Amino acid sequence: MSPRVLPLLLSLLVLPVAAEELVKVGHTRQLRGAWVASVANMHWPAQSGLTSARQREDLRLMLDRLAEARFNAVFFQVRPEGDALYRSELEPWSRFLSGRQGHDPGYDPLNFLVNEAHRRGLEVHAWLNPYRAQATPPPPTAELPVAPHQAAVEPESVLSYGALRWMDPGSPSVRGRLVRVCQDLTRRYDLDGMHFDDYFYPYPDWELPFPDQASYTRSGTNLSLGDWRRAQVNEAIQEVSSAIAAEKPYVRFGISPFGIPAPEKPEQISGLDQYEKLYADTQRWMDEGWVDYLAPQLYWPTTRQAQAYEPLLKWWREHAREGRYIFPGLNLAAMGTKSEWDLAEYRRELALAEGCGGYIIWNVAPILENRQNVKEELFAEAEVLTPPLARCADRVASAPDVSCEGSRVRLTYTDRVPWRAFTVYGWNGDVWALHQIVRSAELDLPAGRWALASVSRDGAESLARVVTIP
């Protein structure tokens, strides 16, 4: 063989193999989330004052357990009481880390969590309580509050209510702080979502009135007290939504309201509701497009007539804005506490939630314990991606560039929106079926026909390039 021919043949062996065609692919998306509470050391850290090494070890274990059960999102409480479980210049370190508010734990828990979660294919949604300033009485030796906590720098804007301390939703400085905190988190951390819980105005403490009369009078409003309170919350939600979208449009913003939306909605349901008692107009948030989803806390079984799971879920779904999601919150923490909370009940609830686009469980503890073998009995399904953001539902990402050397495949991401993953579909003789979700630029594939797509951080998936591996 001529010396000139051999190098030419060798070069042909390593030339990228061109994709045969572009095809449309896709799979059923589902957000599978779990709430992880830090308040009062409920879930993590297990107690205050653990070493940073132990805290990190516990986080890794928690993420491993969630990944094993095929969850794809963790809702991690980073602001339980106007504080921070991350490094912040706006608010002090949480006392639930070390036992002392303002004490530096020596590492950044949120940054650590984001890195470890993304390695396991888990999204991270930062969960904030927007107004609570103190959740539980501190130990006698604890010094609260510590600057720059809202209660330390502007004590007149923090109100006592029963055993709680509450940042006044009617205070412009409280609202401004909330917006800045959300902006800061979105800007500095590689988050997938921002999440608020149901605590806007506090749950009623019997007949004790919430002491915001001074703010209400000072506002000079003609609105009733209830309408004025809802207006304060609405303004905060709108500003936070805009701030997040301005920083990173692919970060999902959602709220988990109390499960009953308003009086007589739906008609056969009774009990405390989010609109009249917590002053949160969830329908307005949905109609205005300020939230990407709502996750109503449907913490009652299907057999409970006054607060039945099925009609409540049906109402929420029927009142969702087109393209927005309802991710029901499921009360997994109740598993085994009463006969009504058995595996069959959760199977019913998950079946009723089909088509919602996902669910979030309260809380992570049964997964960590694998209570009643729950990981295998209810979860442990095939891995899937979360649904695309509502505003991006119709967007098609740019297809990846693909090259092959034997069974080795290299992918290059080309879309303008930051990258989430590549999806690999195999031809089964009838349809393209999801084979795996890849979070690296190289992989090995067995012989066959494969379709390779890009997925961006907003959830948009590209057309897939087809390659044949001999």
d(CA 180, CA 185): 9
Model-level pTM?
Answer: 0.94
Residues 369 and 220 in one domain: yes
pLDDT at 421 over 90: yes
d(CA 11, CA 251): 44
Query: Which residues neighbour 224 within 8 Å (Cβ) at sequence distance 6 or greater?
Result: none
End residue of a domain, out of 358, 387, 416: 387
Q: Which pLDDT belongs to residue 20?
A: 65
Residues 146 and 218 in one domain: yes
Q: Are residues 141 and 103 in contact, defined by beta-carbon separation less than 8 angstroms?
A: no
End residue of a domain, out of 352, 387, 422: 387
pLDDT at 270 over 60: yes
Residue 417: domain span: 5-25+393-469
Interval 265-274 mean pLDDT: 92
CA distances from 408 to 20, 36, 421, 443, 444 (A): 17, 39, 18, 6, 5
Residues 97 and 123 in one domain: yes
Look up residue 405 and give its two tokens. Answer: 């050397």
Q: In what order do the strands lie in the sheet with 252-255?
A: 297-298, 329-330, 358-361, 31-36, 73-79, 123-128, 193-196, 252-255, 293-294, 325-326
Total Cβ atoms within 10 A of residue 223: 12
Look up residue 455 and give its two tokens. Answer: 């997925």
C-alpha dihedral sign at 384, 386, 390, 395 = negative
Total Cβ atoms within 10 A of residue 98: 19
Residues 293 and 354 in one domain: yes
CATH number at residue 451: 2.60.40.10
pLDDT at 362 over 80: yes
pLDDT at 16 over 60: no
pLDDT at 6 over 60: no
pLDDT at 2 over 60: no
Residues 130 and 159 in one domain: yes
pLDDT at 15 over 80: no
Half-sphere exposure of 380 (CA within 13 A, CB side): 10
Q: Are residues 281 and 265 in contact, defined by beta-carbon separation less than 8 angstroms?
A: no
Q: Which pLDDT belongs to residue 110?
A: 98
Residues 401 and 281 in one domain: no
Percent of the chain topping pLDDT 90: 90
Interval 207-226 mean pLDDT: 96
Write the DSSP string, 352-399: HTTTSSEEEES-SHHHHHTGGGHHHHH------PPPPPGGGTT--BPP
The DSSP output letter for 205 is: B
**Closest listed residue to residue 106, CA positions, set 41, 61, 49, 46:** 49
User: What value does the mean pLDDT of the chain take?
Assistant: 93
Residues 112 and 78 in one domain: yes
Residues 414 and 436 in one domain: yes
Q: How confident is the model at residue 392 (pLDDT cuts 50, 70, 90)?
A: confident
End residue of a domain, out of 329, 354, 387: 387
Rounded to the nearest 10 degrees, how much is the dihedral formed by the CA atoms of 79, 82, 88, 93? -80
Total Cβ atoms within 10 A of residue 218: 11
pLDDT digits (tens, 9 = 90+) for 229-244: 999 999 999 999 999 9
Q: How confident is the model at residue 17 (pLDDT cuts 50, 70, 90)?
A: very low
- Name the strand (E) or helix (H) holding 9: helix 5-13
Q: How confident is the model at residue 9 (pLDDT cuts 50, 70, 90)?
A: very low
pLDDT at 139 over 80: no
Round to the nearest angstrom and report the end-to-end CA distance of the chain. 26
Residues 42 and 186 in one domain: yes
Residues 318 and 435 in one domain: no
Domain count, the chain: 2
**Closest listed residue to residue 332, CA positions, set 364, 304, 308:** 364
Q: Which pLDDT belongs to residue 141?
A: 65
SS3 265: strand
Would you tell me the crossing angle of helices 109-119 and 52-68 to the nearest 10 degrees?
30
Cα–chain center distance at 78: 12
Interval 205-226 mean pLDDT: 96
pLDDT digits (tens, 9 = 90+) for 150-190: 999 999 999 999 999 999 999 999 999 999 999 999 999 99
CATH number at residue 46: 3.20.20.80
Biggest CA pair distance of the chain: 97
Interval 120-144 mean pLDDT: 90
CA distances from 204 to 83, 207, 258 (A): 23, 7, 13
R_g of the chain computed on alpha carbons: 25
Strand-strand pairing, 401-405 and 419-427: unpaired
Residues 330 and 450 in one domain: no
Please, what is the Cα angle at 249 between 129 and 180, to 5 degrees?
40
pLDDT digits (tens, 9 = 90+) for 32-51: 999 999 999 999 999 999 99
Interval 403-417 mean pLDDT: 95
Residues 110 and 52 in one domain: yes
